[in-house]
Amino acid sequence: MTKEEWYKQLFERLGNSKFRSSFHLKQKDIDYINEKGLDTIRQHAQDFIAKREAPAVIPNDGKQTPMKGHPVFIAQHATATCCRECIRKWHKIQLGRELSQIQQEYLVDVIMTWIQKEMERNRD
């Protein structure tokens, strides 16, 4: 399966989830992204994934990602990259071992793909 095929299937499945599809960027999130730029938002996403998702054991797994306060947090809930259990279920990355750099980059790419789709949706 190509990356494009995987992403197409993933985003279709996320779109069919009542919970996941309920998340959208608010105007203040869009303003923040426009002010900081996508490169900075990507750096924030890399930092959040490295600190909150990459460790093999996360004592507060399932509660480490706030539901608001940063566009990346909203994107993490929308893309099921918010905790290791969701990452296991939706992205097929097993629990109990540290995320590799490639896995972290994949999760950040999924987050940024969602953010870019949201930015385009809000331009219309």
Domain containing residue 104: 3-123
**pLDDT tens-digit series, residues 36-69:** 999 999 999 999 999 999 999 998 988 999 999 9
> Minimal CA–CA distance to 89: which of 1, 17, 5?
17
The number of folded domains in the chain is 1
Is the whole model's pTM more than 0.75, yes or no?
yes
Sign of CA dihedral 52, 61, 18, 102: positive
Mean pLDDT of 88-101: 96
